[in-house]
C-alpha cells in the first residue's frame, strides 16, 4: 500500500512536512539561519516599536513568540522570573513577536504584563534574518554578541532550568562586544 496520497501536490506537501519533522527531530537549531557561535544581528537596527533598552555589556535573551502559541504563553511567566532574578546582574530579555496583527500583539502583552522588553517586528525584518524555526525559539547571546545557546520550543521547568544555568555561565564571563 502506498503511504502517500494520490494527488501529486498533496504528496509533495506530505513529503516536505515529513522531511521538516525529521530535520527538527535530529538537528535542533539546524533550520535557523543564525547558529551557535554566529554573531546575532544588531537589535538597534531592526526598527522595533518602542525603544530598545541599553544592551551594552549585557547578556541578551532574544525570544521569538506569537500570541497564538500555547508554549509562548507558558514561557512568559518563566521569563518574568528569570528577568527578576538576573536583570540587575546584566541580563536583558527582548521578546520579539512574530504576530502580523498589532492588535493581537497588544492583547497578548496586555494579558501577560511582562516585566521585560517586548517588541513587535512589524516588517518581520529580524524574524526573516534569523529564520526562526518554531514558536517559541530563544537565542541566548553572550556579552561578545555571539549566539551561545538556542532553545527551540519551551518545555516548562526543563527549559527554565537550562536557561538559568546558561545565563549564570554567561554572566560570569568578562564583558565583550554587544549586538
Mean pLDDT across the stretch 87-91? 97
pLDDT band at 50 (very low <50, low <70, confident <90, very high): confident
Q: Three cell numbers at 156?
A: 516548562
Q: Three cell numbers at 32?
A: 535557523
* pLDDT tens string 29-43: 444 478 999 999 988
Q: Average model confidence (pLDDT) for the chain?
A: 82
User: pTM of the prediction?
Assistant: 0.78
Calculate the CA 131 to chain-centre distance.
10
Higher pLDDT, 101 or 23: 101
Under 8 Å between Cβ of 127 and 102: no
Task: Please tell me the predicted confidence (pLDDT) of residue 6.
Answer: 60
Task: Please tell me the predicted confidence (pLDDT) of residue 123.
Answer: 78
* pLDDT tens string 106-132: 999 999 999 999 999 877 888 888 988
Report all structural domains of the chain as residue ranges with CATH numbers, in order of start. 1-27 (no CATH), 32-172 (3.40.30.10)
Task: Please tell me the predicted confidence (pLDDT) of residue 147.
Answer: 97
Cα 63 from Cα 96, distance rounded (Å): 6
Q: ∠ CA 50-88-46 to the nearest 5 degrees?
A: 25
Amino acid at each position: 500500500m502506498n503511504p502517500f496520497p494520490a494527488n501529486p501536490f498533496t504528496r509533495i506537501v506530505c513529503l516536505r512536512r515529513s522531511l521538516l519533522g525529521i530535520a527538527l527531530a535530529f538537528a535542533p537549531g539546524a533550520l535557523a539561519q543564525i547558529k551557535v557561535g554566529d554573531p546575532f544581528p544588531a537589535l538597534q537596527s531592526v526598527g522595533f516599536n518602542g525603544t530598545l533598552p541599553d544592551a551594552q555589556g549585557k547578556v541578551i535573551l532574544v525570544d521569538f513568540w506569537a500570541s497564538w502559541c500555547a508554549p509562548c504563553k507558558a514561557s512568559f511567566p518563566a521569563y518574568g522570573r528569570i528577568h527578576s532574578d538576573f536583570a540587575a546582574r546584566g541580563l536583558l530579555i527582548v521578546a520579539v513577536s512574530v504576530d502580523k496583527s498589532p492588535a493581537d500583539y497588544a492583547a497578548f502583552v496586555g494579558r501577560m504584563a511582562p516585566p521585560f522588553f517586548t517588541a513587535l517586528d512589524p516588517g518581520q525584518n529580524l524574524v526573516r534574518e534569523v529564520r526562526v524555526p518554531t514558536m517559541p525559539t530563544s537565542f541566548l547571546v553572550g556579552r561578545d554578541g555571539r549566539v551561545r545557546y538556542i532553545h527551540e520550543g519551551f518545555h516548562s521547568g526543563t527549559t527554565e532550568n537550562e536557561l538559568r544555568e546558561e545565563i549564570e555561565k554567561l554572566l560570569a564571563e568578562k564583558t565583550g562586544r554587544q549586538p
